[in-house]
Structure 1
Amino acid sequence: MKTNFPSLDGLDLLASAVIILDARGGIVYANAAAENLLESSFKVLSQQKLSELFLNGTELSALFSQAIEHQFADKRLDLVLERANREPLQVHTIVTPLDNPDMPVLLELRENVQQLKLDREERMFDQSQANKELIRNLAHEIKNPLGGIRGAAQLLELELPERHLKELREYTQVIIKEADRLQTLVDRLLAPHRHPHIVGDVNIHEVCERVRSLIMAEFPQGLTIKRDYDLSIPEFRGDKEQLIQALLNIVHNAAQALVDRIRAGDGELILRTRVSRQVTLSKVRYRLALDLHIIDNGPGIPPDIQERIFYPLVSGREGGSGLGLTLAQTFVHQHMGVIECESRPGCTDFRILIPLP
């Protein structure tokens, strides 16, 4: 960074964005992190007023005036950064007065990760609610005519002439079997809405062990499931069967994604439990939360569906129904929790957060 203040060059080593303003609010210094955050070079930034870069820049101007007069030691402010052809970025800012007439105000800027997380959770929750209504309505619309189609095929089979019964029965059986397959699909769609939420004391490690035993029975060779448990996690009130099904859906998907590694004998899954403190879930702050990770060393989720993996009927696997993760998300939401996912080739990490007492 070329500036008239060589003593500041060490600030380029910081990961957080640092900007220094002159008495008129102009930018006289910006470190490399600030250039990256604001997506502009210092040469360009030095021709602008910082407040002009933000949608709520008037709030920053007011704080700048107070800082010039040393009315506070430091103050914090959430700003909204304008970005060309992209969504605005939430930025948390700390404003600090300096005892230097040439550089009277220093600002430290960071992406507001918490706000971004809250916004993402809110979008996911709204989408989940819309998905549930869509699924429920769609399933009921399919269910009624489906029964009629199956019944008509059965009646038709009874009316078939004896001499053509063998060859024509093949067609009626196709109709009946496909109707049954669709009925099974509809039942899965309606499952979360049919069964009552049975609340009892849940030990999350009993849930993990149940799922682990089921998966190991299906994949006895080539797959290792490692346990990394925090045994101090307390029991909590919840529906044990729903949580088993939610975890089983995620772990089963992971195991199926590992099919090539399982054949090679190096498929690996990790079940990790921890306690997170001071967690915000759906705009509610909780002192403690279960932090459960399901990690696999598979190929990762295709980038084009990573943002849609919890939508119904979206699957990254040929022949997949696209309902497993949707149902898992529904069951976790019923426990006031959330599911998050980070994926790259070689590591996919599903994270379940559920409030603890």
Structure 2
Amino acid sequence: MQARGTGVRTEPVSRPNPFDLLATAVVLLDSSGKVAFMNGAAENLLGVSAAQFEGQSLALLAGDGQAIEGLLQECQQRLFSVKRQQLIFNLAGRAATALDITVSVLEEPGLLASVELREIDAYQRIDREERQAALMQLNQSLLRNLGHEIKNPLGGIRGAAQLLETELPTRSLREYTQVIVKESDRLLSLVDQMLTPVRRSMSREAVNIHEVLERVRRLVLSEFPTGLTIVRDYDTSLPEILGDLEQLIQLVLNVVRNAAQAMDGQGSIWLKTRATRQVTLHRQRYGLALSMSIRDNGPGIPKSLRDEIFYPLVSGNPKGHGLGLTIAQTIVHQHGGVIDCRSESQPAYLSGVQGSALPQANDIGTEFTIVLPIGEPIKPVLSKETF
């Protein structure tokens, strides 16, 4: 195409496919029931390339191919307009997985139906993220109010103890007022820790997440110089993320230090980074995101605490304050991300893995997965072009 009056030949602007902006995996079937198109989310979910799978039958990926063929025959006979069903699919690199599929009959020329595919736990994950966001807002409100209610009387108690100390005649009696002052200072410090991520404004700069991980790794290994191994599994091709460097260090340090303390410094921790594409975070769609895993082979989180680990003042460590994970969650949400945890209370494999390069399937004690956006959210582009 040549631009008028310029003599310069320009190429037509490539517009994004609207289907690729969807978080849901979508497959379009032609009139013969073969794959005509699949979006990026479907490629990621099914573990196949759209270009390679075009013209193939979706039944090839199904654990029960006859069930898919039966659905397609019903489509061709127009026995339904929309049908929802759960089927087993053999996904690349994964065990047989149950997917929730919704088949909609299309009236477009050359197309038979659209198939939407979702993992069964996707609904649970969305619900969990929404509950996390609501919990974080509740925590912030609680911490602000609690901090105000605690700091004011504590200041009065501390001041009164200092005045009383000047009136006491003996050193033995003054020791009691010193205890009051020290404990008041300890509680004030605890309240300040609770309020730090809430009241601190967040700066944004380009941050290399691997520099953050390496800094935390050196720090934790200096605290636990013997018996602790931290194994790195980084995707060094990851671009920088926009975030607050100090807060991101605090986030990773809280999680890694918790893991080391839970194992009394004896065990292994794995730090893993990967890129993940077409991710929805807090109802915003991102083309690229960072997935960071912090995994240990420790004793795991007690089952009674697993639903409460992000609550303030909840801890499975008798010496802990129960603030580390609350602060970590707050920082993650301030960066537009999500944090999730899975744990086994009694892992089958707890020792002798210091030399292992990668965790084995039964090495799991506790694993935290943190997903942070890279770049800005995708803005849908309206276009008449579908393919």
TM-score normalised by the chain length of structure 2: 0.65
Match of 2:229 among 210, 224, 231: 224
The equivalent of 2:373 in structure 1 is 355
Secondary structure (helix, strand or coil) at the match of 1:314 reads: coil
The equivalent of 1:330 in structure 2 is 330
The equivalent of 1:71 in structure 2 is 78
Match of 1:243 among 248, 256, 268: 248
In 2: Cα distance, 1:16 partner to 1:194 partner: 54
More helix by share: 1
The equivalent of 1:40 in structure 2 is none
The equivalent of 1:122 in structure 2 is 130
Measured against aligned partners, the alpha-carbon deviations of 1:14-34 in whole angstroms (never above 9, x if no partner) come to 7679979x9xxxxxxxxxxxx
Q: Which structure would you say has the larger RCO, counting Cα contacts within 8 Å and 6 or more residues apart?
A: 2
The equivalent of 2:6 in structure 1 is none
Q: Is the 8 A contact 1:224 1:268 kept in 2?
A: yes
Deviation at 1:189, TM superposition (A): 1.0
Q: Aligned runs of 1:283-298 on 2, under 5 Å?
A: 283-298=283-298
Secondary structure (helix, strand or coil) at the match of 1:208 reads: helix
User: Structure 2 vs 1, CA of residues 169 and 17 (structure 1 numbering), >3 Å: closer, same or farther?
Assistant: farther
The count of corresponding residues between Structure 1 and Structure 2 is: 276
Q: Is the 8 A contact 2:83 2:104 kept in 1?
A: no
Measured against aligned partners, the alpha-carbon deviations of 1:80-129 in whole angstroms (never above 9, x if no partner) come to xxxxxxxxxx98344599xxxxxxxxx99976322221111101111111
Q: Is the 8 A contact 1:279 1:288 kept in 2?
A: yes
In 2: Cα distance, 1:195 partner to 1:295 partner: 29
Q: Aligned runs of 1:41-52 on 2, under 5 Å?
A: none
- What amino acid is aligned across from residue 350 of structure 1 in structure 2? F
Q: Is the 8 A contact 2:310 2:329 kept in 1?
A: yes
User: Structure 2 vs 1, CA of residues 286 and 78 (structure 1 numbering), >3 Å: closer, same or farther?
Assistant: farther
Q: Is the 8 A contact 2:336 2:372 kept in 1?
A: yes
Secondary structure (helix, strand or coil) at the match of 1:280 reads: strand
The equivalent of 2:109 in structure 1 is none
Measured against aligned partners, the alpha-carbon deviations of 1:31-90 in whole angstroms (never above 9, x if no partner) come to xxxxxxxxxxxxxxxxxxxxxxxxxxxxxxxx9xx95882389855489xxxxxxxxxx9
Measured against aligned partners, the alpha-carbon deviations of 1:264-304 in whole angstroms (never above 9, x if no partner) come to xxx10111000011111112221111000001010111011
User: Structure 2 vs 1, CA of residues 77 and 147 (structure 1 numbering), >3 Å: closer, same or farther?
Assistant: same
TM-score normalised by the chain length of structure 1: 0.71
The equivalent of 1:154 in structure 2 is 162
- The answer to whether residue 213 in structure 2 is matched with residue 205 in structure 1 is no
Q: Is the 8 A contact 1:257 1:298 kept in 2?
A: yes
Identity %: 55
- What amino acid is aligned across from residue 181 of structure 2 in structure 1? I
The equivalent of 2:277 in structure 1 is 277
Match of 1:167 among 172, 180, 185: 172
- The answer to whether residue 258 in structure 2 is matched with residue 253 in structure 1 is yes
Deviation at 1:309, TM superposition (A): 0.4
Match of 1:194 among 191, 196, 199: 199
Deviation at 1:175, TM superposition (A): 0.6
In 1: Cα distance, 2:82 partner to 2:289 partner: 30
Measured against aligned partners, the alpha-carbon deviations of 1:121-142 in whole angstroms (never above 9, x if no partner) come to 1011111111111111101110
Q: Is the 8 A contact 2:234 2:271 kept in 1?
A: yes
In 2: Cα distance, 1:208 partner to 1:291 partner: 13
- What amino acid is aligned across from residue 180 of structure 2 in structure 1? I
In 1: Cα distance, 2:207 partner to 2:117 partner: 42
In 2: Cα distance, 1:238 partner to 1:292 partner: 15
In 2: Cα distance, 1:279 partner to 1:108 partner: 16
Q: Is the 8 A contact 1:118 1:283 kept in 2?
A: no
Secondary structure (helix, strand or coil) at the match of 2:315 reads: coil
Secondary structure (helix, strand or coil) at the match of 2:213 reads: helix
Unaligned runs of 5+ in 2: 1-58, 87-97, 106-114, 348-363, 376-387
Secondary structure (helix, strand or coil) at the match of 1:171 reads: helix
User: Structure 2 vs 1, CA of residues 292 and 152 (structure 1 numbering), >3 Å: closer, same or farther?
Assistant: same
- What amino acid is aligned across from residue 158 of structure 1 in structure 2? T
Q: Is the 8 A contact 1:279 1:286 kept in 2?
A: yes
The equivalent of 1:299 in structure 2 is 299
Q: Is the 8 A contact 1:19 1:108 kept in 2?
A: no
Deviation at 1:240, TM superposition (A): 0.6
Which sits farther off after the overlay, 244-253 or 190-199?
190-199
In 2: Cα distance, 1:172 partner to 1:16 partner: 75
In 2: Cα distance, 1:156 partner to 1:286 partner: 60
Which sits farther off after the overlay, 130-139 or 321-330?
130-139
In 2: Cα distance, 1:209 partner to 1:94 partner: 45
Match of 2:150 among 127, 142, 148: 142
Unaligned runs of 5+ in 1: 1-10, 23-62, 80-89, 98-106
In 2: Cα distance, 1:153 partner to 1:298 partner: 43
Q: Is the 8 A contact 2:332 2:372 kept in 1?
A: yes
The equivalent of 2:34 in structure 1 is none
In 1: Cα distance, 2:240 partner to 2:331 partner: 18
Deviation at 1:356, TM superposition (A): 0.6
The equivalent of 1:30 in structure 2 is none
